[in-house]
Amino acid sequence: MNDDWKHDRVGAARRGENPMVLARMPSGYACIGDTQFLPGYCVLNSDSGANHLSDLPLNERTQFLIDMSLLGEAIMQACAPLRVNYSIYGNADHYVHAHVTPRYAWENDSAVKLPHWRYPLDSWSRPELAYSDEQHGELRERIRAALVKLMAEAQGSAPERGAVHRPLG
Instruction: Indicate the domain borders of the chain.
Output: 4-153
Residue 122's pLDDT band (cuts 50, 70, 90): confident
Q: Are 39 and 135 in contact (CB under 8 A)?
A: no
pTM attached to this predicted model: 0.88
Amino acid at 65: L
Query: Worst-scoring range by mean pLDDT, 72-81, 117-126, 134-143?
Result: 117-126
Counting other chains too, the contacts that 125-129 makes at CB distance below 8 Å and 24 or more residues apart are 125/35, 126/35, 126/37, 129/35, 129/36, 129/37
- Which architecture characterizes domain 4-153 according to CATH? 2-Layer Sandwich (3.30)
Helices (H) and strands (E) in the chain, counts: 4, 5
Determine the Cα–Cα distance for residues 96 and 94; give it in Å rounded to an integer.
7
Over residues 40-54, the mean pLDDT reads 94
Residue 29 has pLDDT above 80, yes or no: yes
Q: For 87-98, what is each residue's pLDDT tens digit? A: 998 777 888 999
DSSP assignment, residue 152? H
Residue 164 has pLDDT above 70, yes or no: no
User: What does the radius of gyration of the chain's CA atoms come to, in whole angstroms?
Assistant: 16
Residue 165's pLDDT band (cuts 50, 70, 90): very low
